[in-house]
């Protein structure tokens, strides 16, 4: 579980009692989708016929554009997570990253799950002697993709939830 017992109100939308504006919620979803899409090839290389993880990413983008409802994105996340059940290694982490990105529509704090699983996919897909360096490179790439106005919030959240996210933000 990558969500803390006590959630940060800055990552809860205003209509649910937090302080997160819808526009920032969409930006977090787009960032999560970029992180997940960056590692999708680990899944598609092994299972090119299974489009469930790709559809999860597509649903994230569609939700952020206002084209689908949260429930549709949650369903896509569920399907991507189901795809992850039958696989291992980098492909599994990639599919889970895609699912986490899609469920950001429901809970913004899942953005970190998409990022953490993406780093895990890179680590799992690397040669053992390169896994740490490649994981760090992925983490740095993700940070470069952060929306400027949310950068400090996400980096603080990474520090706060790093232990829940397998310490992948601390390589």
Burial of 94-109, coded b for 16+ CB within 10 Å and e otherwise, reads: bbbbbbbbbbbbebbb
Q: What does the pLDDT read at residue 10?
A: 96
Cβ-Cβ contacts under 8 Å for 26 (sequence gap 6 or more): 64
Is 71 within a domain? yes
Is 12 within a domain? no
Is 113 within a domain? yes
Intervals of the chain under pLDDT 50: none
Q: 66-100: per-residue pLDDT in tens?
A: 999 999 999 999 999 999 998 999 999 999 999 99
Is 13 within a domain? no
Q: What does the pLDDT read at residue 171?
A: 77
Is 157 within a domain? no
- The predicted model scores a pTM of 0.96
Average pLDDT over the chain reads 96
Q: What does the pLDDT read at residue 166?
A: 93
Q: How far apart are CA 30 and CA 14, in angstroms?
A: 19
Mind giving me the DSSP string for 9-20? GGGSBGGGTS-B
Q: How far apart are CA 152 and CA 160, in angstroms?
A: 12
Q: How far apart are CA 158 and CA 87, in angstroms?
A: 27
- Distance from the first to the final alpha carbon of the chain: 20
Number of domains in the chain: 1
Q: Show the domain range for 32.
A: 20-150+162-170
Percent of the chain with pLDDT over 70: 99
DSSP state of 85: H
- For 13, phi and psi rounded to 5 degrees? -65, 155
Is 143 within a domain? yes
Is 8 within a domain? no
What residues form DSSP beta bridges with 13? 20
Pick from 105, 102, 106, 100: which is nearest to 161 by CA? 100
Is 5 within a domain? no
């Amino acid at each position: 579980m990558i969500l803390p017992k006590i959630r940060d109100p800055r990552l809860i939308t205003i209509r649910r009692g937090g302080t997160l504006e819808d526009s920032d919620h969409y930006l977090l979803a787009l960032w999560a989708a970029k992180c997940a899409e960056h590692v999708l090839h680990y899944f598609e290389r092994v299972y090119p016929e299974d489009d469930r993880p790709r559809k999860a990413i597509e649903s994230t983008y569609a939700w952020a554009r206002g084209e689908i409802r949260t429930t549709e994105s949650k369903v896509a996340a569920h399907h991507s997570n189901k795809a992850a059940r039958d696989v291992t290694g980098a492909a599994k982490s990639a599919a889970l990253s895609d699912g986490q990105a899609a469920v950001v529509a429901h809970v913004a704090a899942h953005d970190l799950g998409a990022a953490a699983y993406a780093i895990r996919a890179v680590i799992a897909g690397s040669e053992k002697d390169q896994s740490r360096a490649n994981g760090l490179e992925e983490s740095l790439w993700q940070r470069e993709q952060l929306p400027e106005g949310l950068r400090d919030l996400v980096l603080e959240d990474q520090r706060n939830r790093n232990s829940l996210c397998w310490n992948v933000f601390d390589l």
